[in-house]
Amino acid sequence: MARIIDGKKTAQDIKDEVKQAVSELTKNGRSVTLAVVLVGDDPASAVYVRNKKKACEYCGIVNRQINLPADTSEEELLQLIDQLNRDDSVNGILVQLPVPPQIDGQKVIQAISPKKDVDGFSPISVGALSIGLPGFRSCTPAGIIELLHRYDIQTQGAECVIVGRSNIVGKPMGMLMLRENATVTIAHSKTKNLQEVCRRADILITAVGKPKMFTRDYVKEGAAVIDCGMDRDENGRLCGDVDFGDVSPIASCITPVPGGVGPMTVAMLMKNCVEAISLQQD
């Protein structure tokens, strides 16, 4: 039976480490501030923003919450980002995505200063990751690397198959695993013989968004299985891309959903806010 990778506990450990780091900074007269911008009243976005606020409160990070109406224009939002970029008291800027349709999300991402881009989505952060320069790492894949390290999962020389090629998970995950000296395959909806490709993996990372798609037919015996999916099953319950009940008897370790990768994302955001201080000093 697979060892369960406890993302909830690991995320708590990371938040405790961040809290400690923030407290040290505070003793030296520094504070850490995250500006979170929410445009409109999308209920799912409101939940994400609330979770980030709670994590900031726990870690001692100042949360500057800015709520804008749903009819905010692109120009107004870009002006606000410009102000926050120039404001030395703000260390991290996060615009909760998606933004309403009159606003180009890519323009918003690109407007955030790379020194404050704690989500790690800007082309400069992504480019820095690709060529091994310092910069922010996208929180979900960076959280998976933390899980692999803290659970002593061997990455060097491992065959890693990532299914999904989104800009926020699949692609940065590939770059991070390459830095870990894994042999990386990124599969997607056009990949041929997906089961066969996945069965090569010592580490299988799924970021597809299809509930319980990955049964044991996709998994090599003894593989580490990391499930990013945040899906709903036929009863509306939260589940992952991996069929946990079917796969866990043959995997060596596995992340559950909920309680696996999910909690790591906000914890890594908190970590990025502290790292912003040293990036801004350089």
Closest listed residue to residue 186, CA positions, set 212, 166, 156: 166
Q: Which tokens go with 53? A: 């606020």
Q: Does 169 bind ligand NAP (CB under 6 A)?
A: yes
Among the listed residues 265, 268, 272, 273, the single contact to ligand NAP using CB under 6 A? 265
3-state secondary structure of 133: coil
3-state secondary structure of 282: coil
Q: Does 267 bind ligand NAP (CB under 6 A)?
A: no
Least distance (Å) between residue 183 CB and ligand NAP: 19
Closest listed residue to residue 120, CA positions, set 272, 280, 281: 272
Cβ distance to ligand NAP smaller for residue 7 or 100? 7
What count of Cα atoms within 13 Å lies in the side-chain half-sphere of residue 214?
A: 36
Closest listed residue to residue 66, CA positions, set 58, 87, 258, 142: 87
* CA 54 – CA 63 distance, rounded (Å): 9
Catalytic residue among 6, 15, 52, 116: 52
**How many residues of this chain bind ligand NAP (CB under 6 A)?**
25
Among the listed residues 117, 119, 231, 275, the single contact to ligand NAP using CB under 6 A? 231
Q: Is the dihedral of CA 167, 80, 272, 113 positive or negative?
A: positive
Tokens 């998994």 sit on residue: 219
> Catalytic: 96?
yes
Among the listed residues 15, 52, 137, 165, the single contact to ligand NAP using CB under 6 A? 165
- The 8-class DSSP code of residue 147 comes to H
What count of Cα atoms within 13 Å lies in the side-chain half-sphere of residue 116?
A: 25
Least distance (Å) between residue 240 CB and ligand NAP: 8
Binding to ligand NAP (CB under 6 A): which residues in 179-218? Answer: 187-191, 194, 207-210
Cβ distance to ligand NAP smaller for residue 84 or 92? 92
Please say whether the beta carbons of 83 and 98 come within 8 A: no
Least distance (Å) between residue 266 CB and ligand NAP: 8
Determine the distance from the C-alpha atom of residue 103 to the mean position of all C-alpha atoms in its chain, rounded to a whole number: 23
Cβ distance to ligand NAP smaller for residue 124 or 230? 230
Among the listed residues 261, 268, 273, 279, the single contact to ligand NAP using CB under 6 A? 261
Q: Does 8 bind ligand NAP (CB under 6 A)?
A: no
Among the listed residues 92, 141, 172, 229, the single contact to ligand NAP using CB under 6 A? 229
Stretch that binds ligand NAP, among 29-37, 107-115, 124-132, 257-265 (CB under 6 A): 257-265
> Catalytic: 116?
no
Render 194-233 in DSSP notation, one character per residue: HHHHHHT-SEEEE-S--TT-B-GGG--TT-EEEE---EE-
Which of the residues are catalytic?
52, 96, 119
- Judged by the rule CB under 6 A, the positions of this chain that interact with ligand NAP are 140, 163-166, 168-170, 187-191, 194, 207-210, 228-231, 261-262, 265
